[in-house]
Structure 1
Amino acid sequence: MNPTQAPVIPQVGPDLLSPLPQELMQNITKFLSASDNCNLRLVSKAVEKHTHVYFTENCYYAVHTDLSLKSLESLLEVAKVHTIAANMKLLDIEAHSLSFGQGFNWPPRSSGMMAFGHQDHPCVPLLETIIEKLGNCQSFRVNNICSAADHSNWMVPRSADASVAIEVLFDVICHLRRPTKSLSLEYGRCMVFPVCAAPTLNPGPFFVHPVIFQPFQDAWRTLETLALRGTMSSRTLTENANLIFEATNLRELVLDFRCSAGTPDAATAMMNRMRQLPLAGRMPPILKLDILGGETTDSDFLHFLSLFGTSLRSLRLVDCVSILGTASNWWDVFDNMATHLPLLETISIDHLTIPRAPGYIRVFEYPGLYEEPVIPGTNGDRCEIYEPSPGYYPDESRVSYTGPNMGKFLQALSNGAIVSLVFNH
């Protein structure tokens, strides 16, 4: 067998703890040894009754799907039995509808906040074993998404358990003094009941429980990339906003406020929290900021962006209708962006809803630009921006963006309503 060729993995039987066949294990080992960038992904989905393992490019994916798999201990036990290569760069734990530990019974909770003592958690030795074997691993992703199909009986405990999973992972990373360069936390994205709308569920802390990072400053300080996604993730950053200043090596920050049921003002809460902190000279030199979704005002949004003014080079906004839609003239937002972010080179806007007059699409609300009739097929206020045909836009002088930094509108890309702006200095 060519060691660079991914082995064909047959479907494995229902016994999750049974080791793979010896020959297959040898092929896996050869494949992993020949690859420079292997990623380990542990996935549990309580939707199917079979288990299989497959490969994609240089990534090793161990996928375990079985209705009998009820806890992360079992998932990690399977991973420990299988081969784990020392050259893997990413540990990716994805748990759908999966209880971490013993759910409500562990750990004890007081006033809705997590009680520490993770060293006693049954997953700790398994995580330590895996992370120790991942000798070069400096990237971690924990994704605990509560399936919308599970509804109330599953969503409440799972969102809380996700917080435990992340805290335990941090505990292990710190204990092993593993320098962590990339961290992605994704959880609680499909909770469909706001707190006030589900009193019978007694959600309490389970809908507002953030991850507590305070004991983990050492791991935080080595981060270069941080992604926080989902309802609990935005709340997590709000509660731990001061630790942004501890991430002195942070260069990329991703904030995803979409699917924030139960905390519809997650973006505003986080931005207001950042506003209350003493920021002068303490913000890490973040070069790239991605904001996905979020409900806030244009003034709060611009104030938040101003925190990154001494370093930010690239800004990406996705589904930020609530942010830009509140501006009376959304071009003013971009004018102010250029004022607050003097080093900004690139703005990327995905899926932007442009305010328009009835029957017309305001192609861009800016002096000198014109209105086009509604393009057939557009839905409501969403403006699908197609690749411009000759003559679609006015001459270049009328399309030029004349903001403070003399930036220039570049292009409207097809198939995705993506507007890209580059500020030339």
Structure 2
Amino acid sequence: MRDVAIVGAGQSTYGEHPNSGIKELFATAYDAMAESVDRGYDPDEVDAAHVGSLGVGGSQLGITGASLTSHVGLTGLPVQRVENACASGGFALLNAVQAVGSGIHDAVIASGVEKMLDLSGDRSKYWLGVSGDTEYERLAGMTFAGVYAIVAQRYLAETDAEHDHLSKVAVKNHENGALNPKAQFQREVSVEKAAGAPEIADPLNLYDACPTTDGAACALVVPADEAHRYTDDPVYITGFGGGSDYLALHDRETITSLSAVREAADAAYDRAGRTPAEVDFAEVHDCFTIAELLAYEDLGFADRGEGWRLVEEGRTARDGDLPVNTSGGLKAKGHPLGATGIGQVVEVFEQLRGEAGDRQVDGEVALSHNVGGSGGAATVFVYEVAR
């Protein structure tokens, strides 16, 4: 395969957009991506596009991809909607990387979009619930929060972690989100406030959960040896991987580790020729605070049952040796399902190019981790500023 690089990436603000539909949100992210291409963006060079979206609300369930790309003037090229629940954006990027890396295409847009905040709370819970097993979880009344609450209960029982460690994840990510002008929640919270929030599903409370969000994000993937036609500062994708697992929790060997993530991470590290110890910072999928602790372990940053120690010791803080979710993560930046995986790319792109402003961290090797549902699917990518 050819090496590949990202030469442009952009997103809308995340949060409530009452006057914008998915077309307008997509156009905002697309324009931001185009503006980030230093030497000029030519839409005529785009060969294909992949659009991640769960289709929340059903505003455009059929032919979503072509509906969005034609709105910004991209027609005549193959466009595909990608659906893998919360990992839709990550798999859109995986498709783009494979297409460019294989030589089938030379410039591919990976994108995602979701419009969630024009629905009632009950309807939002329905759309989140479809990412679980229909027969044994959703139709039995299990909510998305309930699934992760079961995981959290098990993790707290099996390890020395306490709920305060979950709260510290929330506090850390809100501190980072407060510095991100694109984040849904740009305010800090205390450990006391996070720990004392109303319960949503024992042991998880309101501050353990990410918000529902409107938003979109786009990235442009090209061959690495063509990247300098677009920019002096490309971001190379040196490793990538995807994985899957049983959808229902009761079918898995364990619920405190996600095999889909381990499979994706192993493939990404192997292709990049890197180890977890070489990653300088990461964007991980913290749909619930417990998910971030699991990510530390499944990505190899900590031993099994020891992920909570990274938060306890401050290692994943912005000034730690392994900053995690400098964007604010899903917890503070927001979680527009289909856009989330590409939104992570935007943060990595800006950080590696030194464009992250007040939340800038040092590093030349980064990772992103995008999970679908409770772990039924996952992608992991390794990024570098030099091949």
TM-score of the superposition, structure 1-length normalised? 0.26
Name the larger-Rg structure: 1
Structure with the largest fraction of helix:
2
Instruction: Say which structure, 1 or 2, has more relative contact order (CA 8 Å, 6+ apart).
Output: 2
